[in-house]
Amino acid sequence: MAKEKYKYLPIEAEESEFNVRELLDRYLRYWPWFIIVGGLALGLAMLYLKYTEPMYKTVSTIIIKDEDKGTGSDPSALVDLGMMGGMATNSISNELGLLTSKRIMYNTVKALDLNVQYWSDEELLSKELYDFSPVKVEIFRLDDRGLEKAILSESNVYKVHNLGGGKLSVVNETTEEEVQTDLGQMVELDFVDFNVQEKEGQEAVPPEEAWTSIRIKFVSLGSVVDKYRGKMVVEIIEEQSTLIQLSLEDPVPKKAQDILNQVVFEYNRDAIDEKNLIAKNTADFIDERLAIINQELDSVETGKEEFKAANSLTDIGAESNMIIQNVSEYNKRQQEVQTQLELTNSMLNYMNSDKLVLFPSNLGIEETSVNQLIAEYNSMVVQRNRLMAGSTEKNPIIVRLDAQIAQMKNSVRSSLQGRRDNLLISSGNLRRQSGRLGSQISAVPGQERKFRGIERQQSIKESLYLYLLQKREENTLKLTVRAPKAKLVDQAYSNWSPISPNPKKALAIAMFLGLMLPVLVIEGKELLNNKIRNRSDLEKKVKGIPVLGELPKLTKKDKEFNANSNRSLLSESCRIVLANLQYTMVKHDPKKGGVCVFVTSTVKGEGKTFTTMNLAHTLATTGKKVIVVGADLRNPQLQRYKEGLNKVLGVSDYLVSRTQELKHLIQDSEQHPNLKFLPSGSIPPNPAELLQLDKMGAMLKELEEAYDYVFVDTAPSMLLADTFLISKYADVTLYVVRTGFTKKNVLNFAMDASKEGKLKNMNFVLNDVGLANLGYGSKYGYVYGEDQPGFWQRLKHSF
């Protein structure tokens, strides 16, 4: 049982191996095309690698400080002022947007003078020199509109030639206008005024050599800004962190390094300017309040002095010390309430302005919710100012922020007004309580009461004045602290191995395309092909019906009929067809006479007559007596092989005549003595009726008795019924199919005709087969004993 179970496995393996081999053979027959396309692809890849400018990747890493938590260098007083809250309401995404903003990049490009480019003076591969330029251009005037016009007319590039002795020649590449100048002397052009200076210590040219020429290109700042904004990539390295990586790809690594370093510098400078703006607004507010309180304090002190002088007072209230001690606590609380009330009123007066300004924060207001609202309002104003630097007031984000700021301002005002109302109530309560105690000291002289009131006002003003002086000093200290917001982790550095072009990748793609393009062409041709191309196509369509052989495609130098060459490819192919034909005739009775072979096809032009003549001639050369009968009475073709056959009597004349003898109609051929012709004769008006006559069968019977082989060249089967009318007389029918001409679907007609018995003992012959498809592939499709075709001939016939 075990043997039975596995006895078919070797057969399956063999079939699988055959299929793989067949698939490989399918492509290997086109190997010249794979070599040519692969060679071209590799050649293009080499040209690409040679002439493509290499790109290098430059990277820099920074950390955005989280200033909510403070830093070691920030004084605690600055944190109390609430001026270090830059990150409090802004996500790290906003910082990424600021790093890539147009304003930051504009400042970077302007600082590095990137709108002036230096290129080597080479025709084919001009390279940007940047810092390796032997000269430096200093611009005195640049007209943006004039530059745009020059760029459009491509007249913004100048060649600077070193004439020696400090002399220069400046030539416009487009207009070829030339200006003679000296090193350091100003050159005045339509859109720019500049001078050219040699760089000291430049690295481009060895000291013993002098530079000869260089190309200088003027471009607009905007175009450079847009270019590098699009190329620079800013991304967070790790989630939940402020570690940011900036990367830039450019053919000049030093240039990319300078750009990234300058971007970080501009970002830090922008952040410091924002911090100083908040501190400056706070300083202005404090100075304004100090001026007012100083004036009020002077007034109180002057009143106190005048009061004591008018009443001749030196030491007041010794006897009221006991009562004063009782009310001291109320006075202290009254002082605190009055201080808070004064600060609250000051803030409300400051808020009456319609201008969008930053509010002072943490000035001593003891209401936590009010301080939080002020901090949130300031953060919104800072965020709006940052966005306005690179946008307009019509920006939807600015509009939304304006609405939020207005709403927050109303919230702050409402909170301060509520705070003031509460303080007024507290002040009233304290006054009433003080009034109750005041009744106890009614006996104290009025001077004492007035004097204490004056001292109380003096104490309030002094306390507020000292507090504001302290805050002014702290704010001044903050203005001197310029800590960068972005801490540099890794200064910009470049990978000195270019990221593109990648030789391995380019060559791999070239090899892939070299293999895949021919495959795609082959498969595409196969997919779109609806015609028979080779023997395999034919055998798949006509399963069960033998394919006797193939006849090769003739080249221009080949003759349609090989009368003298016995070793030609056509002769060998005919012998193969005839050899296979013998196997179909094993049951033929020699006593019956010769073999009657009908040759037909689907439509005109598939090579019936060509096949008939070459098979007949091949048999004649073996000593067989062969005759070719022209049975296509409508469109005879035998005259191609002997001049004048269309003018002599033939089959049609024999069928309509009662006296005509067949032997008088037979013509000798010019190709071989054993080969005879029976032409079709005059073209009749009723060929179908003539072919149905019994005389047709008698004629073929007579010929079979006189010849070993009778080849009947019939009409196309699909177009006419003539062949079907006489097919009963055939011993074998050869159905000719032409590669690249016969459509696959029309073979269904031949198959149906065979199944229905309309065409007797039908076999196929494949005609006009290319060298690459002849036999079982190009490896075995050539004639033994003859030189194989050359490379270009095989390449020509591979498709």
Is residue 259 predicted with pLDDT exceeding 60? yes
Lowest mean pLDDT of 186-200, 621-635, 751-765, name the range.
Answer: 186-200
Average pLDDT over residues 312-322: 57
Domain with CATH 3.40.50.300 in the chain: 538-554+575-767
pLDDT in tens, 89-101: 346 888 888 888 9
Average pLDDT over residues 178-203: 82
Give CA–CA dist 250/786, Å, rounded. Answer: 62
The DSSP bridge partners found for residue 488 are 62
33 falls in which pLDDT band (50, 70, 90)? Answer: confident
Average pLDDT over residues 403-416: 84
Strand 626-630 vs strand 709-713: parallel, antiparallel, or unpaired? parallel
Q: Is 434 exposed, middle or buried (0-12, 13-18, 19+ CB in 10 A)?
A: middle
pLDDT in tens, 730-789: 999 999 999 989 988 888 998 998 898 889 889 999 998 887 677 654 444 444 445 555
Identify each DSSP E strand in 496-616 by its residue range: 547-552, 595-601
Strand 675-678 vs strand 667-668: parallel, antiparallel, or unpaired? antiparallel
Chain-centroid distance of CA 440 in Å reads: 93
pLDDT in tens, 50-75: 878 888 999 999 988 765 544 433 43
pLDDT score at 620: 92
Q: What is the amino acid identity at position 5?
A: K
Cα torsion 71, 72, 76, 81: sign: negative
Strand 56-64 vs strand 243-250: parallel, antiparallel, or unpaired? antiparallel
Give CA–CA dist 34/31, Å, rounded. Answer: 5
pLDDT score at 17: 46
∠ CA 23-25-28 to the nearest 5 degrees? 115
CATH architecture for residues 538-554+575-767: 3-Layer(aba) Sandwich (3.40)
Q: Which of 485, 489, 486, 488 is nearest to 272 (CA)?
A: 485
pLDDT in tens, 567-622: 678 888 899 999 999 888 877 777 778 899 999 999 998 989 999 999 999 999 98
Radius of gyration of the chain (CA): 54
pLDDT score at 586: 76
Is residue 403 predicted with pLDDT exceeding 80? yes
Do 769 and 551 meet the contact criterion of CB atoms below 8 Å apart? yes
Do 710 and 595 meet the contact criterion of CB atoms below 8 Å apart? yes
- Kindly list the distances between the CA atom of residue 303 and the CA atoms of 298, 450, 459, in Å, as whole numbers in the listed order: 9, 11, 14
> How many residues are listed for the chain in this entry?
799
| DSSP codes of every residue in 298-316 | HHHHHHHHHHHHHTT-SS-
Cβ density class 55-79: b for 16+ within 10 Å, e for less: bbbbbbbbebbebeeeeeebeebbb
Average pLDDT over residues 509-531: 84
Q: What is the amino acid identity at position 631?
A: A
Lowest mean pLDDT of 136-145, 205-214, 431-440, name the range.
Answer: 205-214
Is residue 383 predicted with pLDDT exceeding 90? no
pLDDT score at 611: 92
User: Would the pTM count as exceeding 0.75?
Assistant: no
- Kindly list the distances between the CA atom of residue 22 and the CA atoms of 19, 479, 541, 549, 761, in Å, as whole numbers in the listed order: 5, 84, 18, 20, 31
Is residue 707 predicted with pLDDT exceeding 60? yes
pLDDT in tens, 642-672: 888 888 999 999 999 888 888 889 998 888 8
561 falls in which pLDDT band (50, 70, 90)? Answer: low
pLDDT in tens, 443-457: 455 666 677 777 777
pLDDT score at 706: 92
Average pLDDT over residues 334-345: 82
Average pLDDT over residues 199-214: 61
Give CA–CA dist 58/260, Å, rounded. Answer: 8
How high does pLDDT run on average in the chain? 80
Give CA–CA dist 795/772, Å, rounded. Answer: 9
Of 36-40, 397-401, 453-457, 459-463, which has the strongest mean pLDDT? 36-40
